[in-house]
Amino acid sequence: MWGGRFASGPGAIMEEINASIDFDRHLYRQDIAASKAHADMLAKQGIITADDAKKIAHGLDTILSEIEAGKFSFKRALEDIHMNVESRLSELIGEASGRLHTARSRNDQVATDFRLWMRDTVDALDAALAGFQRALAEKALAHAGTVMPGLTHLQTAQPVTFGHHLMAYVEMMARDRGRFADARRRLNESPLGAAALAGTSFPIDREMSAKALRFDRPMANSLDAVSDRDFALETLSAASIASVHLSRLAEEIVIWTSPLTGLMKLSDKFTTGSSIMPQKRNPDAAELVRAKAGRVIGALNALLIVMKGLPLAYAKDMQEDKEGAMDALGALALSIAAMAGMVADLEPDAARMKKAAGEGYATATDLADWLVRSLNIPFREAHHITGRIVAKAAETGVALHRLPLSAMREIEPRIGEDVFSVLSVDRSVKSRASFGGTAPKNVRAQAKKWLRKLEKEKS
């Protein structure tokens, strides 16, 4: 591989640490596509003959078919996907294969391949996130009026609806998709033709090869083109935030399906049993989504640490960019699919959720708001009065809407019978009709709006 400079091959340990074919074989489609674009450009520029370009293209198509049919033999001694493809191309077409590497280096080759792979992966993740949004919005529409406890500090705060809760994640996923779209836009520049680090003396047309690979433009600086991996860092950053969002919902599913709360159930599709306790139904899919967030975040941290001290231009440290990223983005894709399945599978216990929503004096804020509206009491004073009424209800062991009117009037004599109109959880959620609020009509409107938007995206 190294021509005349080296008299012997690498030692066994060197071969082991140096080889990347075990993971960069996943770049084979991108590597072949980039090589075909490069060969076409070389021929158009008169750098190689049209006949050699034709042979190269035919040979690369043959290799692609062999790999996809599982008939290609990857060799660790050839280190990476680039040399494996080039070696096989030499076997297929002979001398013409040696002309393919004119005006390029493995440095710009791998940067190009990885950008293409990352772009394809981002597109697949975006489609998966859109599917997850649909699952969330459909479930939200079905449960726009299903009351559940809204929590802060894991303590009962105010009643909300299950649909409203799910729509929060639709919004989070929208921002995640936006982050991936931003990363895709910035990564969509072509390093091909930057060669090792300084460009090339051959009269290449980088615009042509960039266009053939559907890049927006060639990268403007050859040093930058081969030596930075910010496109991978940015994508992993977006992936890390998305995985955190998924992990938060996974944690909620674990809580909701616990017998301690019993708010919802998952079917056998997304639960497992115990090897010793026959009664167990464990939410393992949710727990694994929660755990996989660590792998994604870890991959981002690892690559940041790899890159932080590297001078320009390329260094072999950057070979560590792909394995972690591929593992992390694969874990994220699996997590999205699992979460979409679990959301569709969840069966809320509406009666139990409604009961839980009323516990802990969850409509206390509604009482305070009523005092402000009906008695023109400043909110801070209304808050104090409500606190005393809640304390009275707790002292007598009754729910807020079960506390006698006489007991309330002992604290605030002006309270009238109509106060009970705001103390039920159903009335509470219906009253939260401000933009972005939990009122069922809001949830239905938002869910339908998102479903229309997602359907439009597909067409």
> One-letter amino acid identity for 203?
P
Q: In whole angstroms, how far apart are CA 42 and each of 18, 46, 99, 165, 204?
A: 30, 6, 9, 56, 7
Give the CA angle between residues 302, 340, 337 to the nearest 5°. Answer: 45
Terminal Cα distance for the chain, rounded: 49
Q: Please report how many Cα atoms fall inside a 13 Å half-sphere around the Cα of residue 213, on the Cβ side.
A: 37
CB atoms within 10 A of CB 51: 10
Under DSSP, is residue 156 helix (H, G, I), strand (E, B) or coil?
A: strand
- Give the SS3 label for residue 218: strand
For the chain, counts of helices (H) and of strands (E): 18, 6
For residue 35, which of 115, 101, 117, 114 has the smallest C-alpha distance?
101
Q: Which residue has the tokens 């035919």?
A: 58
DSSP E strands in 83-204: the ranges are 147-152, 155-161, 189-190
Do 147 and 265 meet the contact criterion of CB atoms below 8 Å apart?
A: no
Active-site positions read: 153, 274
* Location of structure tokens 């293209």: 57
Residue 271 token pair: 């639960």
Residue 209's SS3 state is helix
Alpha-carbon dihedral sign for residues 122, 125, 130, 131: positive
Exposed, middle or buried by CB within 10 Å (0-12, 13-18, 19+), for 58?
middle
Structure-block tokens of residue 211: 């266009």
Half-sphere exposure in the Cβ direction for 133 (13 Å, CA) = 27
For residue 281 the two structure tokens come to: 């139904």
